Structure 1
């Protein structure tokens, strides 16, 4: 039986069940919708991929979460013309005041929201805000993003955008219904080598991309146990409760863009394997021996040192992801894209490229490729981004590009389907691990639109009118 006939029978069979069984389809939970909707039937949804919201001459922004990443974002957006920072929110007054101090001497006069757990809701309810920038602990990302979209705001939300498959569907359905953007702040898509190799891939230099690798290998063992780095050690607590790839998007995002995932191909299923924890429990015991505060973190079943997740796409291509935040290893996101005619790999630094052969190109040849393939966005704001900062400049490129898209009425580089899909690897890897690393189907958050969606022009052939102050 061919695939089209199977799809027809599946969709008509489900419809028949609905008629005979009191609309069975409507009783499915959000995460259960995916199997019946992968066939290409949109079921009345609005496609946010490629959607251009009405232009905003001035983007009025509110920030929530001013602990680690929030203040840096405030500092970056104050350098972008056409931005009006209207409000700042954090549970801790000192954090809000520190962020407000960053705006001294500027035209920004934000109102402060603090002290109360739900102060952010009052801020979101304002009618003079266009964009909410969310940089809170993970568990608050989806509830805040959904509330903001329902309040008529576009959303930029830190990674991961969601922590459960149900939350992923909540983001998708809310964005489609409200026609408000929900962009995950995956800054690694805007790093310089990633943008260069994406442009090369889009211009066919590597041939057809058939395999990608990404990772988050980052020794943050001490940071996870720091009393000051994460509010109430929220991130460490995540590692006591969950097992899998808990932070998949940094390595995954750039690879998905190069492989046109959600725009010509989609993820089909994954398999995830983890080793044991060899370091976090030991570190908790060491700290508890001299500080009773850490006794609450001993005796926990921590997430393992290394998680490896492999993904197969609908078109038979593969992605390998790794996650390790405790081993004493040099930082790496891997960033490997392999095609039928060439390959690029960023780590170990500096990045390497091979075209049509089995040897890496010389640094001189790579410089020649950079001259030819550096995308317009890097030529326009790359040097300013390095000066202003944010992980070497990629954070500023991300923020500038987002504001420029909103001001010019352009589709965002990352849409809600990317936010949902990339974030879903966290709970889906958990599910695979819990079932002895058996394969797990990956929902089609586009509901079939991946077949006709077009790749986003991240290199920026349009827009570019927003000035840097």
Structure 2
């Protein structure tokens, strides 16, 4: 589908994202895209590399509450030979980001902060006419998600969820396979966030030892242990859905001829985090944190039903010992792919009842984006995925084009969290999934990764 035709069709469907026109798109020629970053912690620093590697981008402002994180970011900026940006915060002021958004001449902002700040910061940025690239988790409550959506619709300011797994090389190759009809008609998918985060949720509080160095969290912890662990104490649900649901939603054309219709969730008992505290050399039964009661089930299983008849299972598994895996499974009438064993089976092509190694298929269906940009992405965070998601956001803003992961994707993927919490709290009840597009899913067309610019 040609980009012009896509823009016409989305305009007819009432999509506002393409109406945005940043200053540099108004005839400023070769001027650079001026970006800012709110949150320069470990995740923000991972995003800095791809940003600083671009000649078409100028980082004009950064903000953080902690001087040590600002210091690391400024060192990276200086090492890259880039001009020092204006700096906000560093003194613990949780509202310093507001002054950053009041700065004139910012085209786009990267929001890389604790989850509870994403919705208010994104809304304020959109109100200020600053395009938003938001790290995953669009909001905390279901109302947060409606508020973010309404702000985007009201302002027309672009919003992209920075879900990097959508750009994982094998995930994008499988997208090519799905679109080529290799699996036949899709029937079922599985994915999840299956990642031992015990050493992330607890540490010693030493900035030089952010992972696994102790059993402290909150005010005594550092980095994610300062804020993420509290969610495991207060909440029980699918707390981090987008890594899994993002690719599955792309495979199933969610919001582009399909949508989620129902959701339910189940949670196991909570044992892993408490057990970790007891067994850690710096913990033990007498440590104060051994008395903390954790609400988050060790394994949370969420099921979604789609309008076109597919089901999707997500599993959140972060509190028990296990190797990292997102557990993808894509299954249709002609075969299936699973990422855990990197295997594929295609009826009529694979040996009967046997797996094949998926690598030959990855090579055959390697996405044009990876073929074009693999060298530039080399060395970027998360195996190059961070480069691709930053690239996608920047290119879409520059072109005043629809976001490849847009506002409807963002709020629906992220709203799985409060909906799963509600299902579990209401005796595992199956809930109707909100239609954030309000019917537009019927006429919207796929865009993700169709244009080799992003």
2:55 aligned with 1:81, yes or no? yes
2:443 alignment partner in structure 1: 452
1:29 aligned partner? none
User: Does 2:138 correspond to 1:161?
Assistant: yes
Provide Cα deviations, 1:264-294, integer angstroms capped at 9, x if missing partner: 1110111101110122123345569858996
Partner of 1:18: none
Alpha-carbon contact 2:250-2:448 (below 8 Å) kept: no
1:25-76 deviation per Cα after TM superposition (whole angstroms, max 9, x unaligned)? xxxxxxxxxxxxxxxxx9x994247777567463211111111200111122
Q: Distance in 2 between matches of 1:288 and 1:449?
A: 55
Establish whether residue 345 from structure 1 lines up as the match of residue 322 from structure 2. no
Residues 20 and 157 in structure 2, CA contact (< 8 A), matched pair in contact too: no
Farther-moved stretch of structure 1 (76-85 vs 229-238): 229-238
Q: Is the 8 A contact 1:132 1:156 kept in 2?
A: yes
2:110 paired residue among 133, 137, 140: 133
CA distance in 2 between counterparts of 1:274 and 1:440 reads 16
Show the counterpart of 2:226: 233
Q: In structure 2, the residue corresponding to 1:338 is in which secondary structure?
A: strand
1:207 equivalent in structure 2: 184
SS in 1 for 2:245: helix
Distance 2:282 2:192 in 1: 33
Distance in 1 between residues matched to 2:19 and 2:327, nearest whole Å: 31
Q: Is the 8 A contact 1:212 1:338 kept in 2?
A: yes
**Which residue of 2 is the match for residue 330 of structure 1?**
323
Q: Judge conservation of contact 1:53–1:410 (CA < 8 Å) in 2.
A: no
> Is the 8 Å Cα contact of residues 34 and 105 (structure 2) preserved in structure 1?
yes
Tell me the secondary structure at the aligned position of residue 420 of structure 1.
helix
Choose which of 36, 42, 55 in structure 2 pairs with 1:62.
36
CA deviations over 1:278-319 (Å, ceiling 9, x no partner): 221233455698589962562313311101011111222100
Deviates more, 1:422-431 or 1:367-376: 367-376
Q: What is residue 215 of structure 2 aligned with on the other side?
A: none
Contact 1:50 1:453 survives alignment (8 Å): no
Match of 1:247, SS state, is: coil
Tell me how far apart the structure 2 counterparts of residues 381 and 72 of structure 1 sit (CA, whole Å): 18
Match of 2:15 in 1: 47
- The equivalences for 1:309-320 within 5 A come to 309-320=302-313
Q: State the secondary structure of the residue aligned to 1:102.
A: helix
Secondary structure of 1:113 counterpart: strand
Q: CA RMSD in A?
A: 2.5
2:337 and 2:412 map into 1 onto residues whose CA distance is: 24
| Counterpart-to-counterpart distance in 2, 1:297 and 1:81 | 50
* Alignment pair present for 1:378 and 2:353: no
Structure 1 residues 425-464: aligned runs within 5 Å:
425-461=416-452, 463=453
Q: Is the 8 A contact 1:284 1:295 kept in 2?
A: no
Query: Relative to 1, partners in 2 of residues 1:360 and 1:173: Cα closer, same or farther, differing over 3 Å?
Result: farther
Alignment of structure 1 residues 170-209 onto 2, 5 Å:
170-209=147-186
Q: Which runs of 5+ in 2 are unaligned?
A: 1-9, 26-30, 211-222
Q: Tell which deviates more after alignment, 58-67 or 425-434.
A: 58-67
Distance 1:353 1:109, change over 3 A: same
**1:400 aligned onto 2:400:** no
Match of 2:87 in 1: 112
Structure 1 residue 388 displacement after superposition: 2.6
Q: Is the 8 A contact 1:244 1:272 kept in 2?
A: yes
Taking structure 1 as the reference length, the TM-score comes to 0.83
